[in-house]
């Protein structure tokens, strides 16, 4: 994540100045400590902790983070508030104690799989759809905005379906190697009956 943050500092201000300006400054130590307590018994993923040390999510009026397409990046405090709410109110077959949200807007949300022995895959957990793996890791999801910017594929107000599909194909190609090492298939729906035990599954619906 350290190298990812360096690339953001170097390239994002001129590739996507509005996106760069939307990133907040560092999260306070007490915010990160409260977040660590909120996500227990899961550990706070190192990638997320390092990112929050530099950027406490995005400002409230920011657009969605382009590689996740499920809301702006949350602050440490927002994550700490979202975790217990989701654990208490989420349907057993649509939310796992192993997930830590990183984006959220209305029914849209992306989460990190925080099970220590897994890869930290980012899951689209938007409701009411089945979850889907959408990025090999949080670091990949943050880093790829630079690559999208260089390829002139960052979202714009006049995006059409063709450009969205081109962006998805670009990310699939960019992440081909890390996806090959993952136990989850990119963009494929994950039915509750096939949830790993570490997520609390399997379930039947």
* Interval 54-85: pLDDT, tens: 999 999 777 899 999 899 999 999 999 999 99
Say which DSSP state 127 is in: S
φ/ψ (deg, to 5) at 93: -95, 5
Return d(Cα 132, Cα 68) in angstroms, integer.
Answer: 11
Sign of the torsion angle spanned by Cα atoms 15, 21, 23, 29:
positive
The whole-chain average pLDDT of the chain stands at: 91
Domain 2-191 has CATH 3.40.1580.10: yes
pLDDT of residue 197: 84
Using one digit for the tens of pLDDT, what is the confidence trace for 12-28? 999 999 999 999 999 99
What is this structure's pTM? 0.92
């Amino acid at each position: 994540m350290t190298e990812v943050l360096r690339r953001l500092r170097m390239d994002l201000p001129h590739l996507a100045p509005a996106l760069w300006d939307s990133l907040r400054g560092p999260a306070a130590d007490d915010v990160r400590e409260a977040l660590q307590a909120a996500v227990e018994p899961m550990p706070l993923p190192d990638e997320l902790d390092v990112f929050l040390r530099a950027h406490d999510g995005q400002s409230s009026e920011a657009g969605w983070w382009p590689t996740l397409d499920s809301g702006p990046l949350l602050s440490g405090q927002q994550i700490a508030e979202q975790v217990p709410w989701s654990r208490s109110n989420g349907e057993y077959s649509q939310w796992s104690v192993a997930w830590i949200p990183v984006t959220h807007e209305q029914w849209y949300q992306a989460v990190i799989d925080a099970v220590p022995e897994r890869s930290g895959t980012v899951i689209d957990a938007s409701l009411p759809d089945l979850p889907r793996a959408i990025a090999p890791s949080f670091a990949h999801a943050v880093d790829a905005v630079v690559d999208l910017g260089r390829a002139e594929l960052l979202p714009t107000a006049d995006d059409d379906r063709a450009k969205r599909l081109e962006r998805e194909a670009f990310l699939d190609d960019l992440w081909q190697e890390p996806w090959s090492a993952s136990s989850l298939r990119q963009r494929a729906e994950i039915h509750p009956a096939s949830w790993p035990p570490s997520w609390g599954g399997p379930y039947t619906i």
